[in-house]
């Protein structure tokens, strides 16, 4: 009777070993993780916890990783906001013709995934006389502007009361002093709760590692905006903060052939954006939700 339990135990140990080996084998694709992450990435602190020196070390590491993974030398900067600047954006719906040049400019400027033609902007073709998005359509592919239609580009509204930052369980997304809502792509865990919370379809998730040929990469990059995003994290429009925080206009505005877009510092009483807000009858999308967007729409007259 003494031998039987021993044999049983031996069989159990054998079974457990086989089981463990099988699980090890099943999980072996995880070895590929080295292609999308690194030890430095794993150990990295939250963006707001980094000292200047640590930040610089992170930027150099990210530049190296971009070189290795995408074969392109890029500059990644940490562009910080300027005191006394709060951004706002306005869009003239009477003038927009729905040509999607802004969509394309965003795609190029922000190093978006090429196969999915990703962009932070979607343009809704709306029916004249109605603000009902249910009658809107983003898939139009005909000469524009079409008769009886107007066009409404939608991107991140940079809400003053953003529902997306509230829900993030790890503070990977927050509002900066100049009003721009940013994401720390190296802190996001990819739960996509923010995507569910956003009422404007402004957030995008990297369902796979972004693909972009070396020659098409925009090498002027910043940590919080247009650097090539890692797989499995959420991203969003940042009003091109790598440009705008240095005084330049956002890429979507420069691409607009009709001048439907107005951008600037809302704290500057002489700015164009202030003039629009004070003299045009502006409105915001889904005002009833209390999100207080910094993105305004208006019609002429």
Residues ≥6 apart with Cβ < 8 Å to 266: 86, 87, 88, 273, 274, 277, 294
Least distance (Å) between residue 67 CB and another protein: 22
28/35 Cα distance (integer angstroms): 14
Nearer to another protein among residue 52 and residue 215 (C-beta) = 52
172 binds another protein (CB under 8 A): yes
Q: How far is the CB of 292 from another protein (least distance, A)?
A: 12
Closest to 212 measured CA to CA, from 105, 32, 72, 35? 72
Residue closer to another protein, measured from CB, 33 or 73: 33
Residue closer to another protein (CB basis): 73 or 208: 208
User: How far apart are CB 280 and another protein at their closest, in Å?
Assistant: 7
Minimum CB distance to another protein, residue 64 (Å): 20
Instruction: Give 209's Cβ-side CA count (13 Å radius).
Output: 10
Nearest-angstrom CA–CA distance, 218 and 213: 10
Select the residue interacting with another protein from 204, 227, 242, 294 (CB under 8 A).
204
Q: Is residue 189 a contact residue for another protein (CB under 8 A)?
A: yes
Question: Cα dihedral angle (117, 210, 216, 156), rounded to 10 degrees?
Answer: 60
* Site for another protein contains 2 (CB under 8 A): no
**Of 3-62, which residues contact another protein (CB under 8 A)?**
8-9, 12, 15-16, 19, 22-23, 25-33, 35-37, 42, 46, 48-52, 55
What residues numbered 133-162 form the site for another protein, per CB under 8 A? 133-134, 136-146, 154
Are 173 and 181 in contact by the 8 Å Cβ rule? The answer is yes
Choices 64-72, 203-211, 217-225 (CB under 8 A): range interacting with another protein: 203-211
Between 269 and 298, how does the x/- string for binding to another protein read (CB under 8 A)?
--xx--xx--xx-----x--xxx-------
Cα separation, 244 vs 264, in Å, equals 9
Helix (H) or strand (E) segment spanning residue 275: helix 272-279
Site string for another protein, 208-237 (x = CB under 8 A): xx--------------------xxxxx---
Residues numbered 69-98 forming contacts with another protein, rule: CB under 8 A: 78-83, 90, 92, 95, 97-98
Q: Give the Å distances, CA to CA, from 100 to 52, 128, 211, 283, 285.
A: 39, 19, 22, 22, 20
What is the sign of the dihedral through the CA atoms of 182, 184, 187 and 191? positive
Least gap, CB of 275 to another protein (angstroms)? 4
Q: Which of residues 238-267 bind another protein (CB under 8 A)?
A: 244-249, 253-254, 256-259, 262-265
Half-sphere exposure of 227 (CA within 13 A, CB side): 29
């Amino acid at each position: 009777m003494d031998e039987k339990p021993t044999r049983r135990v031996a069989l159990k140990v054998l079974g457990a070993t086989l089981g463990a080996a099988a699980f090890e084998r099943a999980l072996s694709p995880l070895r590929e993780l080295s292609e999308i992450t690194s030890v430095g990435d794993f150990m990295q602190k939250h963006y707001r916890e980094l000292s200047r020196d640590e930040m610089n070390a992170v930027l150099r590491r990210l530049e190296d990783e971009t070189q290795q993974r995408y074969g392109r030398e890029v500059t990644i900067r940490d562009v910080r906001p300027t005191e006394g600047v709060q951004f706002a954006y306005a869009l003239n719906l009477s003038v927009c013709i729905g040509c999607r040049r802004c969509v394309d400019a965003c795609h190029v400027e922000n190093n978006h995934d090429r196969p999915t033609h990703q962009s932070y902007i979607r343009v809704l073709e709306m029916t004249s006389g109605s603000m009902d998005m249910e009658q809107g359509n983003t898939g139009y592919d005909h000469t524009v502007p079409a008769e009886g239609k107007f066009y409404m580009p939608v991107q991140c509204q940079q809400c003053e009361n953003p529902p997306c930052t509230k829900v993030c369980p790890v503070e990977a997304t927050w509002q900066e002093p100049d009003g721009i809502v940013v994401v720390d792509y190296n802190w996001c865990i990819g739960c996509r709760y923010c995507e569910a919370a956003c009422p404007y379809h402004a957030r995008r998730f990297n369902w796979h590692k972004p693909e972009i040929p070396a020659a098409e990469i925009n090498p002027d990059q910043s940590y919080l905006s247009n650097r090539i995003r890692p797989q499995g994290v959420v991203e969003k429009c940042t009003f091109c903060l790598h440009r705008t925080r240095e005084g330049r206009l956002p890429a979507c505005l420069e691409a607009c052939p009709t001048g439907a877009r107005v951008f600037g510092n809302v704290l500057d009483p002489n700015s164009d954006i202030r003039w629009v807000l004070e003299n045009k009858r502006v409105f915001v999308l889904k005002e009833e939700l209390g999100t207080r967007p910094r993105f305004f729409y208006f019609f002429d007259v």
